[in-house]
Amino acid sequence: MKKNKSLINFWAGIFIFCFYLSFFSCSNAASFNIPEKLTYDLTWAGIKAGTASLEVKNDGEKIKIISTARSVPLISVFYTVDDRVESILLKNTSLPFPGQPVNYKIKTREGRHRKDKEVVFDPNNRWATYIDHLNNEKKEYAVPEIIFDPISSFYYLRTLRLEVGEPVYLTIFDSKKVWNVEVQVLRRETLILPIGTFNTIVVKPLMKSEGIFYRKGDIFIWLTDDAKRIPVKMQTKVSVGSITATLVQGTY
């Protein structure tokens, strides 16, 4: 049971862990497309245990980012996973990024565990209101004027110039705190996947916040080494081996 749980929690966390951005750390070098949708298989020891998706789309004057993770029927018999994370950004052409986060929601079902949390950002007053809907908790926290939630920070990372050996320092509001975390840019690597061969750049975040990503092993992300910075593979080690998320389909 621990094996299945570690495998499925990997994907939930890979979107939440993440990329804690400093808005002024690097100049822009790349640009992802809107709309974009990426679909992944989650595997452990070569066995498919779940599917996941990342999607960004226009929604009027806003941008919506959605990630989902679901266990396959065989795994769901023992440990059901049905997760959804959503970030809404207000379009802002004055920023070196398409939008500014105004609302972040995470709703997860993982076995018997449930989460239903939300963060409402007020960038003008530099406040973030944290809401735990299950535990009736609501608190306000001071944040910088430029701040990201975990999932929108991932998209901003994709717009940065990444050079091997030059770390990126990232800022995010997560787990009721503002975090600044280093993302190491490790190497360039050619990656052969069923959907094609990709030149990639490999990054490794040095995590500090918990999010919902409870693991001790390092996390590695393979981004295409081009203007789009598509995340084609993500991997982490757990006590029973490696968990891998592999891109299987995409509109980008």
Interval 65-118: pLDDT, tens? 999 989 899 888 888 889 999 999 998 766 667 788 999 999 998 788 899 999
The pLDDT assigned to 216 comes to 52
The pLDDT assigned to 30 comes to 54
The C-alpha angle 203, 216, 156, rounded to 5 degrees, equals 30
The pLDDT assigned to 35 comes to 93
The pLDDT assigned to 250 comes to 92
CATH 2.40.360 is right for the domain spanning 2-246? yes
Residue extents of the structural domains in the chain: 2-246
User: Which residue type does 46 have?
Assistant: G
Query: What pTM does this model have?
Result: 0.83
What is the C-alpha to C-alpha distance for residues 34 and 63, in angstroms, rounded to an integer?
9
List the beta bridge partners of residue 238: 241
Stretches in the chain below the pLDDT threshold 70:
1-30, 93-96, 208-217, 238-241
